[in-house]
């Protein structure tokens, strides 16, 4: 059996790794050396609960923490390379741990267009693939040619977009997995992009980032958009018309800058944030009849895993 080369931490405080800067402890926290090391680790850990995280955005870990192991992918599954290029465009491979913004800049440097929107996604490619992340009118799976996945047995293989049901902030495998051993994570994605002008793409990235800075509360801990936009409308608009901008629960607050962001103004607990999310959903439901669906993933125990 291969020797593991990564780093294992016990009772790791997840507030250090989550963009909301709150939440409980992970029973175990594994930082793989690379993709092969991750495969060996999964092979040795066939049954315990597993969670993969990148930059920790779009994620809330409850104050009681997590049983099992959190696998830290950011900076580890970091392969980023140009696979092929011709006059029509090119194909990029990006590992699950590569920051989306880095992929946007890489594509622009190689005269490829269509990935600029990734600069506005505050996460990694793995998370973007898992939820079909998007912004400024574009979505991740619109540029995906194929993906590399890894399962609980450490096996790696390629899947095509047609094998998934892909929707707004939703990606589900078409076939049903029959056992825990078949659980899969995205290890990387192959992105097909048309040819473009480097200067134009870089300018587009600057413009998109300027829009983010001007419209989002980036100076306070947050997890990005909290709720999905309902069909034909915007979650932020609904929250604002219900008078919820600035509403607080402990140190959690609906941002006065962008109503679909909940910010940690100091020492917010995960319980504060989740309670505020529920308050927002309840108020919007009662006043507009629209059910806001959370975009943020919530995991963990309320009272502790011990």
pLDDT-based confidence at 183, cuts 50/70/90?
A: confident
What integer pLDDT is reported at residue 170 of this predicted model?
93
Question: Is position 47 annotated as part of the catalytic site?
Answer: no
**Active-site residue identified among 21, 62, 169, 204:** 169
pLDDT-based confidence at 39, cuts 50/70/90?
A: very high
Domains 7-72 and 235-299 share a fold: no
Other C-beta atoms within 10 Å of 16: how many? 10
What integer pLDDT is reported at residue 1 of this predicted model?
63
Question: Is position 225 annotated as part of the catalytic site?
Answer: yes
CA dihedral for 155, 13, 251, 18, sign (positive or negative): negative
What integer pLDDT is reported at residue 47 of this predicted model?
75
Q: For the chain, what is the mean pLDDT? A: 94
**Active-site residue identified among 27, 139, 274, 295:** 295
- In CATH terms, 7-72 corresponds, of 3.50.50.60, 3.30.43.10, 3.20.20.70, 1.10.10.520, to 3.30.43.10
User: What are the tokens at 216?
Assistant: 């989002």
Q: What are the backbone dihedrals phi and psi of residue 79, each rounded to the nearest 5 degrees, phi first? A: -65, 125
What integer pLDDT is reported at residue 88 of this predicted model?
92
Cα atoms in the 13 Å half-sphere on the side-chain side of 99 = 10
- What average pLDDT score do residues 136-159 get? 95
What integer pLDDT is reported at residue 180 of this predicted model?
67
Q: Where are the alpha helices (DSSP H) in the chain?
A: 35-44, 100-109, 125-131, 198-215, 235-241, 270-288
- Residues 252 and 263: beta-carbon distance below 8 Å: yes
- In CATH terms, 80-215 corresponds, of 3.40.190.10, 3.30.420.40, 3.30.465.10, 1.10.940.10, to 3.30.465.10
Contacts of 199 (CB under 8 A, 6+ apart): none
- Residues 195 and 113: beta-carbon distance below 8 Å: yes
pLDDT-based confidence at 26, cuts 50/70/90?
A: very high
Among candidate residues 224, 222, 214, 258, the one with its CA nearest the CA of residue 240: 258
Question: Is position 295 annotated as part of the catalytic site?
Answer: yes
Residue 2, pLDDT > 60, answer yes
- In CATH terms, 235-299 corresponds, of 3.90.78.10, 1.20.140.10, 3.40.50.2300, 3.30.500.10, to 3.90.78.10
- DSSP SS3 for 53: strand
pLDDT-based confidence at 178, cuts 50/70/90?
A: low
pLDDT tens track for 203-248: 999 999 999 988 999 999 999 999 999 999 999 999 999 999 999 9
Residue 305, pLDDT > 60, answer no
Cα atoms in the 13 Å half-sphere on the side-chain side of 249 = 16
What integer pLDDT is reported at residue 272 of this predicted model?
98
Q: What are the backbone dihedrals phi and psi of residue 234, each rounded to the nearest 5 degrees, phi first? A: -125, 135
Residue 181, pLDDT > 80, answer no
What integer pLDDT is reported at residue 48 of this predicted model?
82
Residue 227 DSSP code: B
pLDDT-based confidence at 177, cuts 50/70/90?
A: confident
Residue 168, pLDDT > 80, answer yes
CA dihedral for 122, 128, 133, 134, sign (positive or negative): positive
pLDDT tens track for 137-146: 899 999 999 9
What integer pLDDT is reported at residue 50 of this predicted model?
92
What integer pLDDT is reported at residue 273 of this predicted model?
98
Domain residue extents for the chain: 7-72, 80-215, 235-299
How many Å apart are CA 68 and CA 239, to the nearest integer?
Answer: 36
pLDDT-based confidence at 303, cuts 50/70/90?
A: confident
- What average pLDDT score do residues 32-56 get? 91
**Active-site residue identified among 19, 45, 225, 255:** 225
- Residues 165 and 174: beta-carbon distance below 8 Å: yes
Q: What are the backbone dihedrals phi and psi of residue 110, each rounded to the nearest 5 degrees, phi first? A: -100, 20
What integer pLDDT is reported at residue 151 of this predicted model?
93
How many Å apart are CA 5 and CA 13, to the nearest integer?
Answer: 22
Q: What are the backbone dihedrals phi and psi of residue 120, each rounded to the nearest 5 degrees, phi first? A: -95, 5
- Residues 49 and 66: beta-carbon distance below 8 Å: yes
């Amino acid at each position: 059996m291969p020797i593991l080369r990564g780093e294992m931490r016990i009772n790791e405080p997840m507030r250090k790794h989550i963009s909301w800067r709150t939440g409980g402890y992970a029973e175990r926290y594994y930082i793989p050396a690379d993709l092969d090391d991750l495969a060996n680790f999964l092979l040795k850990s066939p049954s315990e609960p597993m969670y993969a995280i990148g930059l920790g955005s779009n994620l809330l870990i409850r104050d009681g923490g997590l049983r099992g192991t959190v696998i830290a992918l950011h900076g580890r599954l970091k392969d980023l390379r140009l696979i092929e290029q011709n006059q029509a465009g090119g194909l990029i491979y990006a590992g699950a741990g590569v920051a989306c913004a880095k992929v946007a800049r890489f594509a622009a440097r190689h005269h490829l267009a269509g990935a600029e929107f990734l600069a506005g996604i505050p996460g990694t490619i793995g998370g973007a693939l898992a939820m079909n992340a998007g912004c400024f009118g574009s979505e991740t799976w619109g540029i995906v040619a194929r993906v590399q996945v890894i399962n609980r047995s450490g096996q790696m293989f390629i899947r095509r977009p047609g094998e998934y049901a892909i929707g707004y902030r939703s990606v589900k495998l078409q076939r049903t997995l029959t056992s825990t051993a078949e659980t899969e994570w995205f290890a990387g994605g192959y992105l097909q992009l048309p040819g473009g002008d480097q200067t134009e793409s870089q300018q587009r990235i600057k413009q998109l980032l300027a829009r983010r800075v001007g419209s989002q509360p980036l100076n306070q801990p947050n997890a990005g958009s909290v709720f999905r936009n309902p069909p034909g409308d915007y979650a932020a608009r609904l929250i604002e018309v219900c008078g919820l901008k600035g509403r607080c629960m402990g140190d959690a607050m609906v941002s006065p800058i962008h109503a679909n962001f909940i910010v940690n103004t100091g020492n917010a607990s995960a319980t504060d944030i989740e309670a505020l999310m529920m308050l927002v959903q309840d108020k919007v439901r009662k006043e507009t009849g629209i059910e806001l669906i959370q975009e943020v993933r919530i995991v963990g125990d309320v009272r502790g895993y011990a």
